[in-house]
Each structure stands twice: as structure tokens, then as C-alpha cells.
Amino acid sequence: MSNSLINGLFFSAIVNSNKSIQRYTAGMTFNEFAQNDILMKAILYDFVVIGEAVMNIPSDIKSCYPQVPWRVIGDMRNAIAHEYFQVNLKIIWNTIQNNLPELIIELEQLLQNETRE
């Protein structure tokens, strides 16, 4: 598989997981989210998938897109994966509501750019 195809798969995984999170939480309140254990775990898993994909994207590609908070995304993945009992659901919810919509737009554009090359 070519590097651009592999990178495209990582970007697709990021976009798809972001969209899944948005779909799962559409019209939901924080309390509904925090009380739905199955949904919460599915969303946390999607955040881990996003972080894993980000950590596999080459640094030279990341440096072309400094507006994307690559390190923050990777750090969130690490916090969820390694500090599971200390995950702050309010931070997760805030990220879902305030950061993911914009991130999806940026990453879809990035995906188009990277798969064209």
C-alpha cells in the first residue's frame, strides 16, 4: 500500500469517528451523555481511535497543518486509554460540543488534499 493511501485511511478513520461521535450525541444533553454508560464507552473508544490514527500520521504531514491540534488529540487519547477511571466527562462533552464540529471540517479538507496528492 502506498503511503498516501495509508495516510488517507488514517484521515478517514479520524473523520468517520468524529462523525460517529457527533451522530451519537446529536440533540443530547450532558446529563443524558453522562448517564448512558454504553454510549459513553462507545464515544471514548472513538476518541481512542482518533488519537491512534493521529499518532500514526507522519510528522511532515502534521507540520503542513499546524491549525490542527495534533498533540492535544494524542494527549486526549492517552488520557482516555491510560487514565480511564479519571476521565473528566465534562472535558469530553466540551470537546464534542465545541471542538469536534470545526475539527471535522478541517480534517475533511485535509483528507481531500492528502488523497489528491
Distance CA 69, CA 54 (A): 10
Distance CA 28, CA 62 (A): 32
Active site residue 71: no
Burial class of residue 9, CB neighbours in 10 A (0-12, 13-18, 19+): middle
Active site residue 77: yes
Catalytic residue among 23, 71, 82, 116: 82
Please list the active-site residues.
77, 82
